[in-house]
Amino acid sequence: AQSVTQLGSHVSVSEGALVLLRCNYSSSVPPYLFWYVQYPNQGLQLLLKYTSAATLVKGINGFEAEFKKSETSFHLTKPSAHMSDAAEYFCAVSSTGGTSYGKLTFGQGTILTVHP
Amino acid sequence: DGGITQSPKYLFRKEGQNVTLSCEQNLNHDAMYWYRQDPGQGLRLIYYSQIVNDFQKGDIAEGYSVSREKKESFPLTVTSAQKNPTAFYLCASRLAGGRSNEQCFGPGTRLTVL
């Protein structure tokens, strides 16, 4: 079984400040991990993914995430927030094998607000 | 351009009516998925299909049905048995055999029951 917990349903930052969105996962096999972004009334867009290569993963729009196996975490960061980063962010885990192969399990989402 | 299309974008239904949501992809992906999204609950898997003419129930399949007669198409029917169908529905697809299990998403259909 696999699960994802996103700490904080709402995060608010000032423009130019550091963005940190937290994600912890549980998986019985080595996982693939993803961050997706969703703008209002739209589908999900992939920001970045971890596939067991480099533990520090760089994505689009200046975002990056670090896979920490010992902490079972995959937190999303961006050094300087922009107004256009305001959206909802989802962390997801997928199994690398077994009967859950190919299925994604999502966290509850974190809504990021950016203040001028 | 390759991608996933969902139609309609907005759908209104009276209680007791069945309604079908369309999902089409031209990415040549093998697997397709339907998710339901409610505020604060993330995405929950309704049904998925790994190949044509085969599909499996996800976590919340009750009150829904699907078919997979063509590789490109995976329509979802919301039946009158679904007690709370008002939600945002997302379709996704994945290339089987891919290294990362990455899924691509359509733009979604917002269903409102009046």
Tens of pLDDT, residues B75-89: 999 999 888 999 999
Range of weakest confidence among A48-57, A90-99, B16-25: A90-99
Kindly list the residues from chain B whose CB atom is less than 8 angstroms away from the CB atom of residue A51.
99-100
CA distances from B101 to A9, A93, A105, B16 (A): 26, 9, 11, 37
Peptide bond into B8 cis (omega under 30): yes
Q: Please give the residue that has the higher pLDDT: either B89 or A30.
A: B89
Question: Quick check: helix, strand or coil at residue A69?
Answer: helix
E-assigned strand segments in chain B: 4-7, 10-13, 19-25, 31-37, 43-51, 54-57, 64-66, 76-78, 87-94, 104-105, 109-113
To probe the interface with B, which of A3, A5, A104, A105 has the most B CB atoms within 10 Å? A104
**Taking 90 as the threshold, does the pLDDT of residue B58 lie above it?**
yes
Rounded to whole angstroms, the Cα distance separating A47 from A19 reads 14
Cα pseudo-dihedral A38, A70, A52, B104, rounded to 10: -20
Which among A34, A41, A51 has CB closest to B110?
A41
- The whole-number average pLDDT for the span B34-57 is 93
Which among B40, B45, B104 has CB closest to A103?
B45
**Taking 80 as the threshold, does the pLDDT of residue B33 lie above it?**
yes
- The whole-number average pLDDT for the span B50-62 is 94
**Taking 80 as the threshold, does the pLDDT of residue A29 lie above it?**
no
A102/B108 CB distance under 8 A: no
Sign of CA dihedral B64, B92, B27, B109: positive
Kindly list the residues from chain A whose CB atom is less than 8 angstroms away from the CB atom of residue B104.
46
A42/B94 CB distance under 8 A: no
- Average pLDDT of chain A is 92
* Smallest Cα distance from A109 to chain B, Å: 6
pLDDT of residue A28: 77
- The whole-number average pLDDT for the span B45-55 is 94
* Smallest Cα distance from B1 to chain A, Å: 16
Kindly list the residues from chain B whose CB atom is less than 8 angstroms away from the CB atom of residue A49.
100, 102
- The whole-number average pLDDT for the span A48-67 is 92
Q: Band of the pLDDT at A78, cuts 50, 70, 90?
A: very high
Tens of pLDDT, residues A88-101: 999 999 876 655 56
